[in-house]
A and B are shown apart, each in its own frame.
Chain A
Amino acid sequence: MMAIRELKVCLLGDTGVGKSSIVCRFVQDHFDHNISPTIGASFMTKTVPCGNELHKFLIWDTAGQERFHSLAPMYYRGSAAAVIVYDITKQDSFHTLKKWVKELKEHGPENIVMAIAGNKCDLSDIREVPLKDAKEYAEAIGAVVVETSAKNAINIEELFQGISRQIPPLDPHENGNNGTIKLKPTSQAGRRCC
């Protein structure tokens, strides 16, 4: 039997960039009876296999409006990963993303896995943020990056697979504790479990 690891993932990004659409797409596509439905789209869970573990993502959505900014720490604390979303058609949202990355580096959990999602790639004809920029930036900060389209279900799975791969497998000796949530931030960015 595979061990289930619960991984808290927080979603950051400007309001309107499609944070919750990405999660809804991720959680609701390929409907799977193992998913226990949640009461709303702000908090969703999905379990995916990774190597010999099962990763249960506990996805915490945050409100992107500036006025709620100060509450964000509460949401990203203890996260194993953060998905930071921007809208490829809005340069501003990419700036906001950089602010989030900075904040996470300073105040976020140590070794939090960061994944950058450039959403709305179905609208690339009105793109404002070149893919190249995002890639370079992601590389500089050691983050996973993909352009996604929640609307057309592009790269959504890949985004979370990328996160899964960045989560280091549990230390074998820790497997003994059962029943508790194992949230262990990446200790070595390079280690992969799948």
Chain B
Amino acid sequence: MKPRLVFEESQACSRVSPREMSAWTMGACGLEKRGSFFKLIDTIASEIGELKQEMVQTDVSLENGLGPTEAHSMVRHKDDGYSEEKDVKTCPRDSGYDSLSNRLSVLDRLLHTHPIWLQLGLSEDEAAGVLRAQPPGIFLVRKSTKMQKKVLSLRLPCEFGAPLKEFAIKESTYTFSLEGSGISFADLFRLIAFYCISRDVLPFTLKLPYAISTAKTEAQLEELAQLGLNFWSSPADNKPPNPPPPHRPLSSDGVGPASRQLCLINGVHSIKTRTPSELECSQTNGALCFINPLFFKVHSQEIGGGPKRPCTRTPPDANGTERPRSPPPRPPPPAINSVHGSPQLSGPAAPASMPETVAHHQHGDGARLGAKPTPVPPPRLKKQASFLEAEGGAKTLIGGRPRPEPAAGPAGGAGGAPAAAVEEEEAPRDCTRARPAAAPASPSRAPWRGGRQRLSDMSISTSSSDSLDLDRSMPLFGYEADTNSSLEDYDVESDQETMAPPIKSKKKRNSSFVLPKLVKSQLRKMSGVFSSFLTPEKRMVRRIAELARDKRTYFGCLVQDYVSFLQENKECHVSSTDLLQTVRQFMTQVKNYLSQSSELDPPIESLIPEDQIDVVLEKAMHKCILKPLKGHVEAMLKHFHVADGSWKQLKENLQLVRQRNPQELGVFAPTPDFVDVEKIKVKFMTMQKMYSPEKKVMLLLRVCKLIYTVMENNSGRMYGADDFLPVLTYVIAQCDMLELDTEIEYMMELLDPSLLHGEGGYYLTSAYGALSLIKNFQEEQAARLLSSEARDTLRQWHKRRTTNRTIPSVDDFQNYLRVAFQDVNSGCTGKTLLVRPYVTTEDVCQLCAEKFKVADPEEYSLFLFVDETWQQLAEDTYPQKIKAELHSRPQSHVFHFVYKRIKKDPYGVIFQNGEEELTAS
């Protein structure tokens, strides 16, 4: 499991081992584990209860009136879920949405205002310029070009000598931490939030600008955020937009920065009394993040669900105070901060074939810059208001109002399945899985709610100072959407979604009828506990997928338009390779766009360590591009293969090969028996259901592993490729699955190029090789064909994939033939024709006559120009074979196929050295 989870071991919430947790997160809710599932929840709940009690004792005084009640209720939560529920109802802080709007945690504040303090593009001087005018404790996060790292620039008080100091931010594969500190965080926001509360390696805690720390509503924060970098020079800074609410504990802040700091210190103190030893021990152990286990995770839920809630659903409840939010996903980025990806992007990223995308985009952009809220239907608008909302928002209200959910779900995207529906689908599935557990659980459901409540309460008590002011009544609701998926391997599941087996869907239906609503929601809530462990990676992927469905964003437009363009224009690709290549290219371009654009809010760099960004983006691409296109791509691939005859060829040869005994195929190792072959077939069938090339490759690897196991047969002997490749060929033939051909092609063309050299790439290559052997099995031809044609193909494939990011040359397409046309009137033009291997020159000539609109085809013929000589091709030759032959020659030749007028010459073959000078194509 990921290191991030290590912290669970270290502190109070910890009996849940990461391993166990991961098992749950993966959705391995086997029947036999039913019991432990609940035990797990119980454990967490009681741990939290203890923790909370502790905290309440330290912090009660700061809870400003509510503390005692709350402490009371909390202590009771621990033991009695039912009464707790009641308590909650009487407790104003937990009762509803009205309290949400003016209680923003420090994390919320940070998340909303990152355009202000997260200035990755700022130079050192500029940062110094900004910070010099600020009181001590104010900070920026920027990227140091010198260190090639993100740094925290902190304004120091005068007694420190220097006006500011920079602290490097270390990024490991999964975490962010300050250089020198042992505490690491899942993302940048959590890191900063932590240092707003605890100084750890800093000289003192970080401070939020006054306006941010006193903002009452998200709307206010949003408004501030709109200013971006200009915030620092605008009157908004230092001037509270609204007087701080009198009843707030942090009202002491209102007096001024100094007292605010005091308060913070107070808060810190109260935490520190609990934590110093933890801090120290974590220090020695490197990056151990004990701090944030539940505390920050709970926050994260709040960010996700809580704070967004009011704006997500436009507020029939409680949001009287809310102002209309600005539509843009992210406020207009300050000039320096972000190179807005769109202008430069519209060129490369939007294929020329889809001009409307660009137009649309520009329009969207304009709207964004226009900055003022358009009265667009709120659910959509809000939807993308910010990160985590995707998961948080949709389900947030479930507890209260289950119905509006579908409407408000991420249904936005045209084309894709409305996400609300997906969620609906997921929820029951979730129940299905947990169902065996559900019955025993239902009587005791209240305690679970208690558990949930305690989670949130805990955060309240932790949050004695304003910076920690976390109270939200139902933080976990925010995660429910997530939750469902976090309990199962979401991607695999959704991978299969496309073709859910009938049995499964039936089960689903059943469960949703059988399970009372309450139980269901309980289950959801329980899983909410786990969802807090959802990795930022998964959240990011989901966030991007959300964005992709939202046509109001440039990214959403790009993706949606491309998807529908492909689906509607079946004839725009001439070959399967062509199709897959353009899809791959599109994904690569969109990845580039996403990593540069400011449409991701918050920016991906703040959540994902840099060396993981590409991995995460790749996953997101699979989800938002390949998933909707999977069916279409499959159909097209099959279409191409049927059309060019390779389907039939493979089919016939599979039969031939299957009749051979293993030895004839060069197999001298044990081979899988019938049962094993069946197992392998099942794996291949599962593979077909996946849309992610990575996941498909994983299954291929499992197949190969199984083959090895059979081969080794406990002999301890290690088999290399000499033995493995023949066995693989044999197995593939035995499986007799024509679809494997397109599967392999799909993987080879769409797999992330960085994986091609690894194990996946190796076995993919082997599988491709095995299939080519089968395809070319026709004995007498086998050797010869393979040595030219297959080799040619392989070489071209490799060239394409390794020089991946350059635009592929049309010559790479195996069924293409580039033919130049030479005409007295129009000079020389070229066209790329679809010419299959067994198409004769005669046919090509006919095609050329059509394509080049030649009136007198009998006057023209196809010529090969190679080595400075012209050769008229005989009618019964195969241009593709000739091309393959030329490609397979040791030296590479420059050659051109030219369709031109036949000289009135008695000879069929004409050699004209340089006389008819022509630079074809």
Which residues of B lie under 8 Å from residue A77 when comparing CB positions? 794-795, 798-799, 802
B766 x A42 contact (CB < 8 A): yes
Which residues of A lie under 8 Å from residue B725 when comparing CB positions? 42, 63, 68, 71
Q: Choose one: A40, A41, A64, A181; the contact of B754 (CB below 8 Å).
A: A181
Q: Give 29 pairs: A residue, B residue, CB < 8 Å, sorted on A.
A: A6-B758, A21-B718, A39-B705, A39-B759, A40-B707, A40-B719, A41-B719, A42-B724, A42-B725, A42-B762, A43-B762, A61-B720, A64-B721, A65-B722, A68-B725, A68-B773, A70-B786, A70-B790, A71-B765, A73-B791, A74-B797, A77-B798, A106-B891, A178-B610, A178-B611, A179-B611, A180-B614, A181-B754, A181-B757
Interface: A190 (CB within 8 A):
no
Interface: B148 (CB within 8 A):
yes
**How far, in whole Å, are A188 and B323 apart by their CA atoms in the complex?**
65
Which residues of A lie under 8 Å from residue B890 when comparing CB positions? 106-107
**How far, in whole Å, are A20 and B708 apart by their CA atoms in the complex?**
14
**How far, in whole Å, are A20 and B720 apart by their CA atoms in the complex?**
5
Contact status of A183 and B795, CB under 8 A, knowing A40-B724, A74-B768: no
B725 nearest in chain A by CB position: A63
Interface: A34 (CB within 8 A):
no
Contact status of A74 and B762, CB under 8 A, knowing A40-B724, A181-B754: no
Interface: B398 (CB within 8 A):
no
Contact status of A179 and B612, CB under 8 A, knowing A39-B708, A42-B766, A65-B666: yes
Q: Count residues on chain B whose CB falls below 8 Å from chain A CBs.
A: 48
**How far, in whole Å, are A6 and B724 apart by their CA atoms in the complex?**
24
Known A8-B757, A68-B769, A179-B612; 17 more pairs at CB < 8 Å: A6-B757, A6-B758, A19-B721, A39-B763, A40-B719, A42-B762, A42-B763, A43-B763, A58-B759, A58-B762, A64-B721, A64-B722, A78-B756, A78-B798, A78-B802, A178-B611, A179-B754
**How far, in whole Å, are A38 and B701 apart by their CA atoms in the complex?**
10
B789 nearest in chain A by CB position: A70
Interface: B726 (CB within 8 A):
yes
Interface: A51 (CB within 8 A):
no
B773 x A67 contact (CB < 8 A): yes
Which residues of A lie under 8 Å from residue B614 when comparing CB positions? 179-180
A14 nearest in chain B by CB position: B722
A58 x B757 contact (CB < 8 A): yes
**How far, in whole Å, are A13 and B891 apart by their CA atoms in the complex?**
23
B708 nearest in chain A by CB position: A40
**How far, in whole Å, are A176 and B795 apart by their CA atoms in the complex?**
30
Interface: B882 (CB within 8 A):
no
**How far, in whole Å, are A15 and B612 apart by their CA atoms in the complex?**
40
Which of A16, A39, A42, A75 has the most chain B CB within a 10 Å cutoff?
A: A42
B770 nearest in chain A by CB position: A71
Q: Choose one: A23, A71, A75; the contact of B720 (CB below 8 Å).
A: A23
A interface, how many residues as a size bin? 35 or more
A19 x B722 contact (CB < 8 A): yes
**How far, in whole Å, are A137 and B613 apart by their CA atoms in the complex?**
47
Interface: A93 (CB within 8 A):
no
Contact status of A183 and B757, CB under 8 A, knowing A16-B722, A107-B795: yes
Which residues of A lie under 8 Å from residue B783 when comparing CB positions? 67
Interface: A86 (CB within 8 A):
no
A42 x B148 contact (CB < 8 A): no
**How far, in whole Å, are A69 and B769 apart by their CA atoms in the complex?**
10
Taking CB atoms and an 8 Å cut-off, the chain A residues in 109-149 that contact chain B are: none
Which residues of B lie under 8 Å from residue A6 when comparing CB positions? 757-758
Interface: A24 (CB within 8 A):
yes
Which residues of A lie under 8 Å from residue B766 when comparing CB positions? 42
A63 x B786 contact (CB < 8 A): no
Task: Classify the secondary structure of B's interface with A.
Answer: helix
Distance of B711 from chain A, by nearest CB (Å): 8
Distance of A126 from chain B, by nearest CB (Å): 22
Which residues of B lie under 8 Å from residue A8 when comparing CB positions? 757
Taking CB atoms and an 8 Å cut-off, the chain B residues in 712-758 that contact chain A are: 718-722, 724-726, 754, 756-758
Interface: B874 (CB within 8 A):
no
**How far, in whole Å, are A42 and B756 apart by their CA atoms in the complex?**
15
Chain B proximity mask over A54-92: 1 for CB below 8 Å, otherwise 0: 000010111111011111011101100000000000000
**How far, in whole Å, are A73 and B724 apart by their CA atoms in the complex?**
18
Which residues of A lie under 8 Å from residue B615 when comparing CB positions? 179
Query: Chain B interface (Cβ within 8 Å of chain A)?
Result: 148, 610-615, 666, 701, 704-705, 707-708, 718-722, 724-726, 754, 756-759, 762-763, 765-766, 768-769, 772-773, 782-783, 786-787, 790-791, 794-795, 797-799, 802, 890-891
Which residues of B lie under 8 Å from residue A16 when comparing CB positions? 722
Distance of B882 from chain A, by nearest CB (Å): 18
B759 x A78 contact (CB < 8 A): no
B772 x A71 contact (CB < 8 A): yes
A59 nearest in chain B by CB position: B762
**How far, in whole Å, are A67 and B784 apart by their CA atoms in the complex?**
11
Q: Choose one: B718, B762, B772; the contact of A60 (CB below 8 Å).
A: B762
Distance of A2 from chain B, by nearest CB (Å): 15
Q: Choose one: B610, B611, B704, B722; the contact of A40 (CB below 8 Å).
A: B704
Which residues of B lie under 8 Å from residue A19 when comparing CB positions? 720-722
Which residues of B lie under 8 Å from residue A64 when comparing CB positions? 721-722
Contact status of A42 and B765, CB under 8 A, knowing A67-B666, A67-B773, A70-B790: no
**How far, in whole Å, are A68 and B774 apart by their CA atoms in the complex?**
12
Distance of B696 from chain A, by nearest CB (Å): 16
A73 x B721 contact (CB < 8 A): no
**How far, in whole Å, are A58 and B765 apart by their CA atoms in the complex?**
14
Which residues of A lie under 8 Å from residue B719 when comparing CB positions? 20, 40-42
**How far, in whole Å, are A137 and B148 apart by their CA atoms in the complex?**
47
**How far, in whole Å, are A15 and B724 apart by their CA atoms in the complex?**
12
Which residues of B lie under 8 Å from residue A20 when comparing CB positions? 718-722
Which of A8, A24, A73 has the most chain B CB within a 10 Å cutoff?
A: A73
A64 nearest in chain B by CB position: B722
Distance of A60 from chain B, by nearest CB (Å): 6
B802 x A42 contact (CB < 8 A): no
**How far, in whole Å, are A70 and B772 apart by their CA atoms in the complex?**
10
Chain B proximity mask over A1-41: 1 for CB below 8 Å, otherwise 0: 00000101001000110011101100000000000001111
Q: Choose one: B726, B759, B791; the contact of A43 (CB below 8 Å).
A: B759
Which residues of B lie under 8 Å from residue A24 when comparing CB positions? 718, 720
Which of B720, B763, B766, B769 has the most chain A CB within a 10 Å cutoff?
A: B720
**How far, in whole Å, are A15 and B719 apart by their CA atoms in the complex?**
12
B722 x A73 contact (CB < 8 A): no
**How far, in whole Å, are A180 and B766 apart by their CA atoms in the complex?**
23
B795 x A62 contact (CB < 8 A): no
Distance of B461 from chain A, by nearest CB (Å): 40
**How far, in whole Å, are A45 and B754 apart by their CA atoms in the complex?**
16
B612 nearest in chain A by CB position: A179
Distance of B745 from chain A, by nearest CB (Å): 14
A74 x B721 contact (CB < 8 A): no
